[in-house]
Structure formats: structure tokens, C-alpha cells
Amino acid sequence: MFTGLIEDLGTLLDIRTATNQACLTVETRLPMAELSLGDSIAVNGACLTVTSFGDGVFSADVSPETLKCTTLGHLTRGVRVNLERAMRLSDRLGGHLVTGHIDGRARIIERRMDGNAWRFKFLTETAVNAFLVTKGSVSIDGISLTVNEVFENTFSLVIIPLTLAKTTLQDRKVGDDVNVETDLIGKYVARFLRNGAAGEPQGVTMDLLAKNGFL
């Protein structure tokens, strides 16, 4: 589990790809003394497992499922990536609950100044947009952000200068793809509303509302 607060901008030193798999090697300022084999690190929002580390670098394997759902397979050597280690239960939750399990990708279709901030607009699949709500939370390349507006297959965000400066959003331009993880709680609520509780009829019915004290 992560918070969506980026700890470091790493640099991709190497990416080795084979059929439906890849291995990333990332240079980072994260403290190596605090890493262990098997630790989870979110790389551009995707939860990966540390397979080796040392001297300011770590490596992680990327599974076929992760390659299919994320932008990791399209990264090139030298690009910067957002990094966050898994949260401790004692940590402040400054962002929101982020699992590192990417729901899909979105494409930047607009980037412009708006006062002292930047406004980004994204095109994405309607299935992903279904879990976005205005003023709700979303993770873009691992960054915890607040949704500004939601439409049928687009949504927008307003990025303050500090967030832009400390994340890869400063490098993003129109036409770039990003990883999207929608809010975990919202997905559970949507599933409950769609399927009903265990043993109940599918969906929300008047009987279900009455039984649970809403009527």
C-alpha cells in the first residue's frame, strides 16, 4: 500500500525486455540501507518487487499483466520515474490509499497554465472514468491527485507548482500516456452497488435500502 506522495525522481538506467516480461534497473537517492530484497516500490504508480539493489540502484521484474496495463514497457533509458516505497502503518496518510495496481492508461490531451498552476486534461477509457468523481482522488503515475472535472471519457486535474517540480509531470507533454489508478474505496462501493450484498438481489433495490435503514 502507498500514499501517492512521491519520495524520489529516479532515472531508468536499463530496461531489458523479452516476450511478455521486462526487468527495470533504476538509479535512485532512496536510502539503500533501508531496502531489502522483496520490498515493494511503486515505479510510476505500479507496485514492483525489488529483486536486487546496491550502490544507489535497484532492479525489479515486470510481469506480463503489468506490462499490459501500464506504460512501463514503453519506457526508455534515461527517463525519470516517480518512486515511492510502501507506506508504514505508523505513517501519516498525506495522500490517499494507493495500491499500486494500475487500472488503465490515459493520454494527455491538454496542458496549459491556469493562474499559478497547470491544468492537465486526459483522455481515457470510459470504464476507468466510471470510477472518477469530481473532487475525488486519483493516482496518476503514482501521484496522489484531486480530480477537477469528469466527463464521459475525459477528466482534468489542476497541478500546483510544488507537485509539478517534484514529479515527472514536469516532463509530460500532450500525447504522452500515463498510468491511472482510481480510488480503492470507490471501486468497492461501485461493485457493491452493482452486485448487491452477499445473498441479496443484484443492484440496489427499495427492499435493500429499507432493510439497511435508509427508508
Q: How far is CA 103 from the centre of its chain?
A: 8
Q: What nine digits make up the cell of 63? A: 510481469
Angle at 42 between CA 36 and CA 46, to 5 degrees: 130
pLDDT at position 213, please? 76
Full-model pTM: 0.88
Q: For residue 38, give every residue at least 6 positions away whose Cβ sits within 8 Å of its Cβ, in sequence order, or none.
A: 49, 50
Phi then psi for 144, rounded to 5 degrees?
A: -75, 120
In the chain, where are the structural domains located? Answer: 8-85, 104-190
135 has which bridge partners?
A: none
In this prediction, residue 206 carries a pLDDT of 72
pLDDT at 192: 73
Assign a CATH topology to domain 104-190. Answer: Elongation Factor Tu (Ef-tu); domain 3 (2.40.30)
The helix or strand, by DSSP H or E, that contains position 64, with its residue range, turns out to be helix 64-69
pLDDT above 90 coverage of the chain, percent? 75
Instruction: Please name which of 106, 119, 40, 44 lies closest in space to residue 79, comparing C-alpha atoms.
Output: 44
Output the pLDDT for position 18: 82
What confidence tens digit (pLDDT) does each residue in 170-206 have? 999 999 999 999 998 888 877 777 765 555 556 666 7
Q: For the stretch 162-186, what's the b/e string if a residue is b when 16 or more beta carbons lie within 10 angstroms of its beta carbon?
A: ebbebbbbeebeeebbbbbbbbbeb
Which residues of the chain, if any, have pLDDT below 70? 195-205, 208
CA angle centred on 117, ends 183 and 133, rounded to 5° = 25
What would the CATH number be for the domain defined by 8-85?
A: 2.40.30.20
Say which residue the cell 499490459 belongs to: 68
Looking at residue 116, the DSSP 8-state letter turns out to be T
165: DSSP letter: H
Structure-block grid coordinates of residue 108: 494527455
Please tell me the predicted confidence (pLDDT) of residue 45.
97
- Per CATH, 8-85 and 104-190 having the same topology is answered yes
